[in-house]
C-alpha cells in the first residue's frame, strides 16, 4: 500500500487536472439547430446560452407556439451536447470514476 503522502500528491494532481479540464470545457462552444436550421442555439461548456439565431422565415407563419418549441429544442439539444462532451472528457480523465459535484 502506498503511503499517505503519495496518495495526497496523487489527489492533488487529479484535482489540478480536473480544474484545468473544467476551464477548458467551459471555454468551448456547442451548437445545435432545430426546424431544419430555422433556429440555432450556441452554448458554452458552462451551459450558458451564448447566441440564439432565428431565421426570419420562422416568423412568417406567425405560429408563436411552433417558434417556442423550435427554440426549446435547439437550446436543449445544445445543452445536451455540452453536457455529454463534459461527461466524456471527465470519464477519460478519471477512468470512469464518478466524481461528485463535477458534472
* pLDDT value of residue 101: 59
* pLDDT value of residue 76: 97
* pTM over the 0.85 mark: no
Residue linked to cell 494532481:
13
Cβ neighbours, 10 Å, residue 32: 19
Q: Please check whether residue 45 is in contact with residue 85, taking contact to mean a CB–CB distance below 8 angstroms.
A: yes
Q: What is the pLDDT of residues 4-31, one digit of tens each?
A: 888 888 878 888 888 888 888 888 999 9
Torsion (CA) 76, 80, 81, 86 in degrees, nearest 10: 140
Which residue segment(s) compose the domain that 52 sits in?
A: 4-94
* pLDDT value of residue 4: 82
Residue 102 lies in a domain: no
* pLDDT value of residue 102: 55
Q: What is the pLDDT of residues 48-77, one digit of tens each?
A: 999 999 999 988 888 899 999 999 999 999
CATH of the domain at 22: 3.30.1310.10
The angle at the Cα of 36, spanning 76 to 32, to the nearest 5 degrees, equals 30
Residue 69 lies in a domain: yes
Amino acid at each position: 500500500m502506498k503511503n499517505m503522502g503519495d496518495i495526497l500528491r496523487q489527489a492533488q494532481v487529479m484535482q489540478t487536472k480536473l480544474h484545468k479540464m473544467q476551464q477548458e470545457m467551459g471555454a468551448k462552444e456547442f451548437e445545435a439547430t432545430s426546424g431544419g436550421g430555422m433556429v440555432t442555439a450556441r452554448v458554452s461548456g458552462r451551459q450558458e446560452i451564448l447566441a440564439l439565431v432565428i431565421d426570419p422565415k420562422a416568423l412568417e407563419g406567425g405560429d408563436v407556439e411552433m417558434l417556442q418549441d423550435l427554440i426549446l429544442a435547439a437550446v436543449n439539444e445544445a445543452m445536451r451536447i455540452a453536457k455529454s462532451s463534459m461527461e466524456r472528457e471527465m470519464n477519460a480523465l478519471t477512468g470512469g470514476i464518478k466524481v461528485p459535484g463535477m458534472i
